[in-house]
Amino acid sequence: MKLGIAVLGATGYIGTPYREEIREAGVEARIVTLCARRRDRLEAAQQKDKADLITDDWQDAINHPDVNCVVVATPDALHFDPVIACAALDKHVFCEKPVGLNADQAYQIWTAFQNKPLGHFVPFWTRYVPVFARAREFVQSGALGEIRSVIYRWHNPRPTSIPFTWRDDATLSAAGSIADVGSHAYDTIRWIIDQEASRVLAHAEVLAPAKPDVGPIDLTEAIDMGQKPQTTETTTLRKGTAFDYANIIWQFHGGVVGSLVLSHAPTLRKGLAPEVELHGTDGSLAIDRLKNELTLVRPDGTVELLETVPNPGFGNRFVKHVFPAIDDRASGKTSEHPGLYDGWRVQIFTDAVVASVERGVWVALSEFDAQSNDVTKA
């Protein structure tokens, strides 16, 4: 299938590398339209992509007659309308997570695509990290016995020198770190152990101090500014409102218990411990993403470095994963790749976590999952 692609959020931190991978895909795809808010950056992008149209109106971008696939790489709050429009226009979609601002939006998106011959993909990229894929094989082989507990630590500190961006603004960033890295963490675990969470108890807050407010910039610009001596003086500091820290206790339908710590806070650093621990009746497995190591602890306490998993990097994710998923689903096949169904399931988890933070009590995911009996996975 030849894809004519519209990229929404084309010049941002996410959209820019996606465009590069699409360009490198060759004959499989062509970038037709680009949409972003800043004309100067759009014009530079158009030169690279040879796009037919650049615009700040997403409707113009997706309505172009040569577009049959849309990449939605905009801020979280701007996903829903374009994706729903894609379903109505019979266009394939790649939607960044979270697919909606809440489970209701995510459900509407999933059901809009569910019974149509349309491809879709949600980039839960952690599934494709080799050490996680190997851990899934090991767990599903039964080597750990019955999984009883999962402990996950996802620390991705952002330096205090990075200025304020939309990711710090709760009106644009859906649940902050809970939706950002938490979506990857939850999807990875549900994929590894093949279970959904049943209830959560959570605490979250904003730990980072106020940041320089230099106006509407994306994360690429913010990181670049944070790495250089400040040449622009600003007396304006702005405190973020989107959570950058969360501590979640989770329980799964199969009886698994454990905890998840998520953070973008500058003082919670990674590398001190394995990212994931999976504890079963016949052994425990540690996943160290930084070292690409799997370590097994047997019931008698014997510790064994099970495997150092080669990690050549993601490669071209569109060629390897996105385009095959779109082809499969467009032709009515079940795809092994994450899609809008997975985006909906993860959003249910996110909503339950946020509700628990607000109420200070255990929250059942079923509260946000009333429609689960009406849909099937694809």
Calpha distance 43→41 (Å, rounded): 5
| pLDDT at 327 exceeding the cut of 70 | yes
Residue with tokens 């895909």: 25
Q: Which is nearest to 169 in space by CA: 98, 243, 95, 106?
A: 243
Q: What is the pLDDT of residues 135-189, one digit of tens each?
A: 999 999 999 999 999 999 999 998 888 899 888 998 888 799 999 999 999 999 9
Calpha distance 368→107 (Å, rounded): 10
Calpha distance 221→13 (Å, rounded): 8
Answer yes or no: are the C-beta atoms of 86 and 62 closer than 8 Å.
Answer: yes
Calpha distance 297→295 (Å, rounded): 7
Residue-level pLDDT at 233: 57
Residue with tokens 């909906």: 344
Calpha distance 156→267 (Å, rounded): 10
| pLDDT at 261 exceeding the cut of 90 | yes
Residue-level pLDDT at 114: 94
Calpha distance 58→91 (Å, rounded): 14
Q: Domains in the chain and their CATH numbers?
A: 3-124+315-336 (3.40.50.720), 126-308 (3.30.360.10)
In angstroms, how far is CA 368 from the centroid of its own chain?
20
- The mean pLDDT of 110-132, rounded to a whole number, is 97
Strand partners, 304: 296
- The mean pLDDT of 341-370, rounded to a whole number, is 96
pTM of the model as a whole: 0.93
- The mean pLDDT of 43-51, rounded to a whole number, is 97
Calpha distance 333→291 (Å, rounded): 36
Residue-level pLDDT at 248: 98
Answer yes or no: are the C-beta atoms of 242 and 176 closer than 8 Å.
Answer: yes
Calpha distance 370→155 (Å, rounded): 32
Q: What is the pLDDT of residues 272-310, one digit of tens each?
A: 888 999 999 999 999 999 999 999 999 999 999 999 999
In whole numbers, what is the pLDDT of the chain averaged over residues? 93
